[in-house]
A and B are shown apart, each in its own frame.
Chain A
């Protein structure tokens, strides 16, 4: 027990002092969470630059400007007609809204008779080469004008739509998807990268040297597993903290269950690391195999994009990979993501992978 603890602490010190290992297991996933969380955060940070050309100059047109500004997604810049067109052409503006002269008069008239007479038209200029931006702005403008029309006429709409996520399957933002996914990726890397120090220690005869002491071999394996579990806990804490603080991801699941899934994943991928170390003769070979394995799993296991959007052939590969089930399980438990397979089935697949990896390592792993 004393030796197990001492060896684990020694491994931990080695790990922390080896900058490369620290980068791949901590910094790399953190960068990914920050990157993907920011890119696909979807929490209303998007904003469009819109030129505001007011040819009316009345209190009504000023009120209309406020109504657009209240949406929070349009940054309005008041300007003259000519300069707005020029800036749109140079790509400095996403769109231009022109309020015609006589808008205020028309509004005043409409208020008088309940909005049944006459109409006035805003002009919206958009860049047709940026389809999605143009569509988004059209919808926003449409929404605002509808609201203004109702306010003027004083008649609430008969039919309206309230959009709500289905309970229990809410993926409210990109970050909610990416935080558990990238945690799964980090655990995968942590586990399979165990192969590299193992092969190093075998090549440098460290394993053989320890074999010449009375230390039982299970202690060596045990300390390695303990080390990976400790680092997995640190990874989980860091990634969750970033998700909670940086992207307001709400963790809905049971903490014990999350810890259990993280531990099962770390064990399983560490065992896979031993499998790689069983067949890789040199450090270079181990490096190559782990790199290929991690990249393949990263892109084929629904880490960066959901399995549902994959073509069928890709999905059938994803079904075989353990990372698919770790990511799926963590999404289900942490943020209530919609299941690819039921949690029990996913954990069963992980456990099966663990057993197979253990059996292969026990048979083929060499100490020297």
Chain B
């Protein structure tokens, strides 16, 4: 199908019938003793890129797989494109695109053969040549998938998620393990999906990826959604301040730093100090003075705006980095 026409068709349909492509309310899922998802609620609007951001083990993959209809839920309600992903599995699966976290597929088939094979699983399919072109894989058409690089494999697995011209695309950690160049090229693909009018739900544990791609996002940790909104909202809601950060100094404890001028909040994490302050100059002055009395130098001293990283740190007391 012609991509522009498809896009127009989707946009009008989305606007009228399905303003919300995903609705997830009080979702719960337990594996033995582990409560993987402990009451998650969020929704994805038509045409947006929505991100689930959180560390490994936060319950992102479980959530996304329940929405894809390949995993059952214990409690709560989910709707995908207005349908129940388990009861209406065939209909939902025909209209969504799925990319799983690990991507190796039929090592002995070529890229072209694999695209063709997956196309035959669906009632509706995109032209294979244009799809490969859009993902920069046209030269790899006749290469067996086992010979592809990590980035190419990942793009192939996204291509497979698009064979059926889906309205909603699920991408689970699409850039994990990729080098920066490959990551950026995949970001372009995701932006392209939005430009075509598709909705995207992606999971990631990379801050900069969430900031770069997502219209809105939910921060998830230990099976719960901690915060929801767009990036600026999330940051501004917590931080009007700037962060002064430096390597921790022995003898300088959190209580004494909280007394520094302008400091609202002190976070100690992984040998680093983060002072959130409304008065950067006064705070830095106090840090330098305190260091001098302890006969120490504050290493790696710097100032920055608050980021999603700070939001996560503030919410959980842990850094998101893996």
Cα of A204 to Cα of B68 in the assembled complex, Å: 18
Q: Which of B68, B70, B113 contacts A10 (CB 8 A)?
A: B113
Chain A interface mostly: helix
Which chain A residues (11-45) contact chain B, with CB distance < 8 Å? 13-14, 17-18
Q: Separation in Å of the B115 CB from the closest CB of chain A? A: 11
Cα of A167 to Cα of B68 in the assembled complex, Å: 66
Which chain A residues (199-246) contact chain B, with CB distance < 8 Å? 204-206, 208-215
On whether the beta carbons of B113 and A13 are closer than 8 Å, the reply is: yes
On whether the beta carbons of B121 and A10 are closer than 8 Å, the reply is: no
Asked if B105 lies at the interface with its beta carbon under 8 angstroms from chain A, I say yes
Asked if B320 lies at the interface with its beta carbon under 8 angstroms from chain A, I say no
On whether the beta carbons of A210 and B121 are closer than 8 Å, the reply is: yes
On whether the beta carbons of B93 and A213 are closer than 8 Å, the reply is: yes
Among the stretches B94-102, B204-212, B218-226, the one at the interface with A is B94-102
On whether the beta carbons of A211 and B70 are closer than 8 Å, the reply is: yes
Residues of B within 8 A of A17 (CB): 108, 144
Interface size of B by CB at 8 A reads 29
Residues of A within 8 A of B69 (CB): 212
Q: Which of A3, A7, A205, A215 contacts B100 (CB 8 A)?
A: A205
Chain B interface mostly: loop
Nearest-CB residue, chain A, relative to B93: A214
Residues of B within 8 A of A3 (CB): 120-121
Q: Separation in Å of the A234 CB from the closest CB of chain B? A: 18
Residues of B within 8 A of A213 (CB): 93, 98, 118, 121-122, 164
* Known contacts A3-B120, A213-B122; is-contact A206 B109 (Cβ 8 Å): no
Asked if B106 lies at the interface with its beta carbon under 8 angstroms from chain A, I say yes
Asked if B84 lies at the interface with its beta carbon under 8 angstroms from chain A, I say no
Asked if B90 lies at the interface with its beta carbon under 8 angstroms from chain A, I say yes
Asked if A2 lies at the interface with its beta carbon under 8 angstroms from chain B, I say yes
On whether the beta carbons of A212 and B120 are closer than 8 Å, the reply is: no
Residues of A within 8 A of B121 (CB): 3, 210, 213-215
Asked if B195 lies at the interface with its beta carbon under 8 angstroms from chain A, I say no
On whether the beta carbons of A14 and B93 are closer than 8 Å, the reply is: no
Asked if B134 lies at the interface with its beta carbon under 8 angstroms from chain A, I say no
Cα of A18 to Cα of B105 in the assembled complex, Å: 14
Asked if A6 lies at the interface with its beta carbon under 8 angstroms from chain B, I say yes
On whether the beta carbons of A209 and B120 are closer than 8 Å, the reply is: no
Q: Separation in Å of the A19 CB from the closest CB of chain B? A: 10
Which chain B residues (77-110) contact chain A, with CB distance < 8 Å? 89-90, 93-94, 98, 100-102, 104-109
On whether the beta carbons of A205 and B102 are closer than 8 Å, the reply is: yes
Q: Separation in Å of the B104 CB from the closest CB of chain A? A: 5
Cα of A206 to Cα of B114 in the assembled complex, Å: 12
Residues of A within 8 A of B70 (CB): 208, 211-212
Residues of B within 8 A of A212 (CB): 68-70, 93, 98, 100
Which chain A residues (262-303) contact chain B, with CB distance < 8 Å? none
Asked if B117 lies at the interface with its beta carbon under 8 angstroms from chain A, I say yes
Cα of A13 to Cα of B113 in the assembled complex, Å: 10
On whether the beta carbons of A2 and B120 are closer than 8 Å, the reply is: yes
Question: CB-CB contacts of B145-181 with A at 8 A, as 1s and 0s?
Answer: 0000000000000001000100000000000000000
Asked if B264 lies at the interface with its beta carbon under 8 angstroms from chain A, I say no
Nearest-CB residue, chain B, relative to A14: B108
On whether the beta carbons of A206 and B106 are closer than 8 Å, the reply is: yes
Q: Separation in Å of the B114 CB from the closest CB of chain A? A: 8
Q: Separation in Å of the B118 CB from the closest CB of chain A? A: 7
Nearest-CB residue, chain B, relative to A2: B120
Nearest-CB residue, chain B, relative to A216: B90
Residues of B within 8 A of A2 (CB): 120
On whether the beta carbons of A13 and B109 are closer than 8 Å, the reply is: yes
Q: Which of A6, A10, A204 contacts B104 (CB 8 A)?
A: A204
Nearest-CB residue, chain A, relative to B104: A204
Cα of A171 to Cα of B104 in the assembled complex, Å: 51
Asked if B227 lies at the interface with its beta carbon under 8 angstroms from chain A, I say no
Asked if B116 lies at the interface with its beta carbon under 8 angstroms from chain A, I say yes
Interface core residue of B109, B114, B121, B144 (most chain A CB under 10 Å): B121
Nearest-CB residue, chain B, relative to A21: B108
Residues of B within 8 A of A206 (CB): 104-106
20 chain-A/chain-B pairs, Cβ below 8 angstroms: A6-B117, A13-B109, A13-B113, A18-B108, A204-B102, A204-B104, A205-B101, A205-B102, A205-B104, A206-B105, A209-B105, A209-B160, A212-B68, A212-B98, A212-B100, A214-B90, A214-B93, A214-B94, A214-B121, A215-B121
Which 5 A/B pairs are nearest by Cβ-Cβ distance? A17-B108, A212-B98, A213-B121, A14-B108, A6-B120
Residue numbers of B with Cβ under 8 A of A are 68-70, 89-90, 93-94, 98, 100-102, 104-109, 113-114, 116-118, 120-123, 144, 160, 164
Residue numbers of A with Cβ under 8 A of B are 2-3, 6-7, 10, 13-14, 17-18, 204-206, 208-215
